[in-house]
Amino acid sequence: DERLSIEINGSPFNRPSKLSQLVKLPVHFFGPEKDIKDARSPFLVPKSHWVLNETEQTLEQRGLAQPLLHLAWRQPVFGRDDGYKFHLYGGKNFADRYQFNGFMKPQDSVKFAPSTVRNELDPLSQRMQNIEQLFDILAKGQHRFGANEDGQSLAPLQTEPNSKPVWELDGTLHIFLVGNYLHIKGDFNLREEVFIAPPNGDLAAQASTLLTSTQDKTEEERFLRSYRFDQLRRVISHETHYFDHPKLGMIVQIRRTDLSARRY
């Protein structure tokens, strides 16, 4: 089972207590030579067993992507209901500046105030421009609208007491069988630093403030935005499969061992 991931970093075979002390994880994870017949759990294999080295080099040399994780391991394959999942996490550890919910720690709060020139338009053109600006801002994730059931702005989140790791990539990878068919289920959150305007007031007030700020100026703060990666695919062993996403890509190849070879 070999994986070459783009914008995905980390190894499911390292203990969280050790990885949480690192600021950033390495790209390659590999282990010593082992006899699969003596194995009692999944294990990393040496680089000599890797077959996606050329793919990794091509991606990097052509500037198509920056590989962040390459590893290969041996594991048994279970049924979907067995719940045998790998916790995959890594990349940068943002815990020194951000809380797990994405907000900056109080001592690291940074604001940014861009300025633009205000354009005078007729009322109808201004209204259409406002609508287009709101949709564009929402599509880019530059603002978080938030309100409770009464339409009032949400109360500020409390500072988290524990400083747990805040990985650039955090989620689970599930490889399982449904009948005779092999499946891969990836469920990740990829985090990226962005500038946003914090919600203030009810939804109408937030929209009004946001539009005014795009015409004049506004104070924005850093936020660690999460992008969801949630994909399920039925795959065939010994074939190379690519999982696409606007923010990352993952190349997977699953190969049978002698113990799982077809018997005629």
Q: Tell me how far apart the alpha carbons of residues 142 and 134 are, in angstroms, rounded to a whole number.
A: 10
pLDDT at 153 over 50: no
Q: How far is CA 48 from CA 23, 45, 51, 80, in A?
A: 28, 8, 8, 31
Is residue 239 over pLDDT 70? Answer: yes
- What confidence tens digit (pLDDT) does each residue in 180-213 have? 899 999 898 899 999 876 666 566 666 666 666 5
More confident residue, 49 or 6: 49
Least confident of 29-38, 131-140, 245-254: 131-140
Average the pLDDT over 67-96 and give the result: 85
Q: How many CB atoms lie within 10 A of CB 239?
A: 10
Beta-strand ranges (E) seen in 75-201 are 78-79, 85-93, 111-112, 167-178, 181-196
By mean pLDDT, which of 9-23, 27-41, 196-210 is the weakest?
A: 9-23
Which H or E run contains 212?
helix 203-215
Q: Does residue 160 have a pLDDT over 60?
A: no
Q: Which of 6, 3, 2, 4 is nearest to 190 (CA)?
A: 6
Written as six digits, the tokens of 112 are 């940014």
pTM passes above 0.85: no
Q: Indicate the SS3 state at residue 87.
A: strand
- What's the maximum distance between 2 C-alpha atoms anywhere in the chain? 78
Give me the pLDDT at residue 219, please.
60
Predicted local confidence at residue 91, as pLDDT: 81
Q: Are 251 and 52 in contact (CB under 8 A)?
A: yes
**pLDDT at residue 119 in the model:** 54
More confident residue, 226 or 153: 226
Question: Per-residue pLDDT averaged across 22-44, rounded?
Answer: 86
| pLDDT score for 232 | 94
Could you read off the pLDDT of 36-75 as tens digits, one per residue?
888 888 898 999 999 999 999 998 899 888 887 888 888 8
